[in-house]
Each structure stands twice: as structure tokens, then as C-alpha cells.
Amino acid sequence: MTQLLIKFKNVFMTALTIGKILNDYQGFLMDYEVEQLRKVQRTPSDFTTQVKAIQLALFAEEWDFMGDSGADSKDRSRGINPMNQEYIDRVNKKREAFSVSLLSEDGYSTDNSSDLFCEEVVRHTKNYKELLEHKKNKTKQTVFVDMDNVLVNFKSGIDKISEEDKLKYEGDLDEVPGIFFLMEPYDGAIEGYKWLCKNFDTYILSTAPWDNPSAWQDKLLWVKKYLPDEAYKRLILSHNKHLVHGDFLIDDRTANGAGKFLGKHIHFGPKGDKDFADWKAVIAYLKNLT
């Protein structure tokens, strides 16, 4: 399914497990949906398989079109959902209860909100093979942490450069030689990073500007200054963050591969559609997933 950028705050912050859905949401579900969900609960599988299984159990209406007759598909092409109104209302009420987008008028799902919802359910149910494997081997899930505007307060570096450099590098302030070492830690970042180290296999994953060679050195020096033991030999500098394999990436942007990261992108920052405004929100979320 196409990964759309439309995100729903509720979806991300939902800490529903399969058990909680079965207990608290039965009124929104049909018997066959409950039965399917119970089946998933009884059969632990790997993460991706479990997400798909929950999606098929809870949101099977997204595949209704596959059973269309000729007349049904004609209806759909004219923007009409051929399913009966009672069914459509019931399905949309359920989707609303889970903060998943309603079906479009022609009965198709309109975004990836049900995928994201099901991923969160699997993460919180904690019964998928990869996690059980970690528990058995006493290993930890992997977290990658971005630097600029996550670990590092970028603006604090700008505040320290000369007016002359501000003018000279206007529009490209990340190319000021030495600027990255001048930056202060982001609010709550050092404590947050140290907490992560105790609970996850934690690495720094940052991008250094291609046209500022000193940034590559300054980022290393910054890490040695503020996180000397915790981040020892755990600094990765890359323009291709999607190539790194792991469970979580805390990043304020989708650039340099962050948006294509295969695990969970914890979209960090106080502005816009970011799901995690600060370090407190990140830790509150991850605390439930260890």
C-alpha cells in the first residue's frame, strides 16, 4: 500500500493491545471480527505478518471491492459504495472509534491510517516474534537518534557565530565552519539519550552537510563532549538513513532517507504534524514498548 504522509496523532499515541480491543471495543465489532482477532492473539508471528493479520481481522472492508459483481464495480466507478448503508454506517463507526480514516464514498480506504494503527497495536501487544526473540536472548531493540534539532539545539549554534558569518553564509548556515561544535544540547536530550541507552541498543544517526567538511569532524567532537561513554563508537553519519536497519528512528525530518526508514519513524519536534513534541513524549511512548 502506498505510504502516504497523512498521519493521525491519535493513531500514533494509541496504546491499544489486542486484549484491550477485545475487552473495550467489542461493541464496535462483528462476531467474525472478534473471532479473527482472537485467532491472531493465539498465534504469535513476526511483526509484519501480525500487522497484516490484524488489518484483515479489523478492517476487512478495505478489500470489499475484490468481491464486486459487474454491477458493483460499475457503482464504484461512479463513486458509489455498492455495500448496503447499514453495513457502511457500522464500518465507519468502528473506524471512527479507532481514529482510522473513514472509507471514501466509493468504499475504498483513503490512506495508510489503518496500517499505522495496526502497527501500533502489534507494538503494544508485544507478542511478535522479533520482540520475543530479544527477550529470550536478553538483547534489546535498536533505536537511532538524529542530531540536529533532536540531540542538538541547532539555533544555539547560530546564536554564537559572528554577524559577518551570518551574512556570508545566509541561507546556508549549516556550512559555517565550526558551527556544529558550538551548538548546545536540545532540551531534555542528554537525559533522554541516557535513558534510551539503558533500555535500547542506541546509536546516533545524523547527516553532516556535504559542503561543510568541518561538520563531519565537529559532530564527532560534539558527541565526545556531551555523550563520551554512552555514544562511544556509536556515531553514524549518512545521507541514506533508510539503509540502516533497526526498530526506531527519532528524527525531526523525513529528509536523507529518514522518511523511508523501515522501522518506526518517531517524528520529533514541536511544530507541524510531528507526533512527538519533545523528549518527554518520546520517552513516554517508548517506555511502553520495552
The catalytic site residues sit at 146, 148
| CA gap 213, 210 in Å, rounded | 7
| Nearer residue to Mg ion within complex by CB, 59 or 186 | 186
| Nearer residue to Mg ion within complex by CB, 121 or 205 | 205
Q: Which span (84-92, 137-145, 180-188, 252-260) binds Mg ion, by CB under 5 A? A: 252-260
| Nearer residue to Mg ion within complex by CB, 7 or 126 | 7
Q: How far is the CB of 252 from Mg ion (least distance, A)?
A: 4
Q: How far is the CB of 290 from Mg ion (least distance, A)?
A: 24
Residue whose C-beta lies closest to Mg ion: 148
All three cell numbers of 185: 544540547
247 binds Mg ion, rule: CB under 5 A: no
| CA gap 45, 129 in Å, rounded | 6
| Nearer residue to Mg ion within complex by CB, 21 or 249 | 249
Residues between 25 and 44 with contacts to Mg ion, criterion CB under 5 A: none
Q: How far is the CB of 38 from Mg ion (least distance, A)?
A: 42
| Nearer residue to Mg ion within complex by CB, 125 or 149 | 149
Kindly write out the interface string for residues 123-162 of this chain, putting x where it contacts Mg ion by CB under 5 A and - elsewhere. -----------------------x-xx-------------
Contact by Cβ (8 Å): 151, 207: no
118, 252, 258, 282: which one contacts Mg ion (CB under 5 A)? 252
Sheet with 248-251: strands ordered across: 235-237, 201-206, 142-145, 248-251, 264-267
119 binds Mg ion, rule: CB under 5 A: no
Q: How far is the CB of 269 from Mg ion (least distance, A)?
A: 9
- 204 Cβ contact partners less than 8 Å away, ≥ 6 residues apart: 144, 145, 146, 147, 151, 223, 227, 231, 234, 235, 236
| CA gap 249, 114 in Å, rounded | 21
Nearest residue to 146 (alpha-carbon basis) of 14, 282, 272: 282
Q: How far is the CB of 36 from Mg ion (least distance, A)?
A: 41
| Nearer residue to Mg ion within complex by CB, 111 or 146 | 146
Question: Where do runs of H (alpha helix) occur along 64-178?
Answer: 70-77, 85-97, 113-125, 129-137, 154-158, 163-168
How many chain residues interact with Mg ion (CB under 5 A)?
Answer: 4
Question: Where do runs of H (alpha helix) occur along the chain?
Answer: 9-13, 18-24, 31-42, 47-58, 70-77, 85-97, 113-125, 129-137, 154-158, 163-168, 179-182, 189-199, 213-226, 279-287
Q: How far is the CB of 144 from Mg ion (least distance, A)?
A: 12
**Angle (nearest 5°) at CA 240 between 198 and 132:** 40
| CA gap 13, 5 in Å, rounded | 17
Site residues, Mg ion (CB under 5 A): 146, 148-149, 252
